[in-house]
Amino acid sequence: MNASNAMDILRREIRLEVGMEGNRWFDLCRWGIVKDELTKYAAFENKYIPKFNNGYNSDWICLPFPNSEVAAADGRFVQNGTWGGHD
């Protein structure tokens, strides 16, 4: 047993225990594995749904700052360029 194996076991256990409670997204974000998990999911679904579109952008982990807040921050906040204009 090492740290990597322990983390894999913990992730699997959490997935089984609380997978349907709506918190899985936040766990995947916290662990930094969102893109990997969604890519695996899309590959699985492609077997059954032709042309299944992943459409996931790895910059979409957090919601954008409102443009009014970015403007009021005087350069302290930098908006992620993929979000565009959101108020």
| Model pLDDT, residue 55 | 65
In a domain, 50, yes or no: yes
Q: Give the predicted TM-score (pTM) of the model.
A: 0.60
Q: What's the number of domains the chain is made of?
A: 2
| Model pLDDT, residue 11 | 92
Is 47 found in the same domain as 75? Answer: yes
Is 48 found in the same domain as 62? Answer: yes
For residue 78, give every residue at least 6 positions away whose Cβ sits within 8 Å of its Cβ, in sequence order, or none.
Answer: 70
| Model pLDDT, residue 86 | 47
Q: What is the CA radius of gyration of the chain?
A: 17
Is 45 found in the same domain as 15? Answer: no
CA distances to 11, 38, 39, 43, 65 from 56, in Å: 21, 8, 8, 13, 19
Is 13 found in the same domain as 54? Answer: no
Is 38 found in the same domain as 25? Answer: no
| Model pLDDT, residue 54 | 59
In a domain, 87, yes or no: no
| Model pLDDT, residue 68 | 86
pLDDT digits (tens, 9 = 90+) for 3-60: 989 999 999 999 899 878 888 888 888 888 888 888 888 888 888 887 766 566 666 7
